[in-house]
Amino acid sequence: MIQLTSATAIEKAINKARTVKPRVRVNCFGSYTVTNKQTGATYTVTCEKRDGKRFASCTCRAGELGRACFHLAAAVAAHIQLAADKQAAH
């Protein structure tokens, strides 16, 4: 589980996600299945808000070690988009 403080903290992971372009499937708001199309590897990324702070975690090896992996970055990008859409709908 890592705390998402700013976009710059996961910038490297975001850049990697832009290169790899993993597929992100929304399970529900806050839960995403990320597939690396090149390797077929699938991981689950969870995003949540606690005490006004944003946290995210990934089930891959890097994610378990608390590192911002590109699965996490890709899912967080989808999560932010989804949250913005939700806001717009209200």
Footprint on this chain of Zn ion (rule: CB under 5 A): 43, 58, 60, 63, 69, 71
Alpha helices by DSSP H, listed for the chain, are: 11-20, 61-64, 70-89
Give the closest residue to 74 by CA, choosing from 27, 36, 39. 36
Among residues 32 and 43, whose Cβ is nearest to Zn ion? Answer: 43
Give 73's Cβ-side CA count (13 Å radius).
Answer: 23
Shortest gap between Cβ of 71 and Zn ion (angstroms)? 3
Shortest gap between Cβ of 87 and Zn ion (angstroms)? 27
Among residues 41 and 84, whose Cβ is nearest to Zn ion? Answer: 41
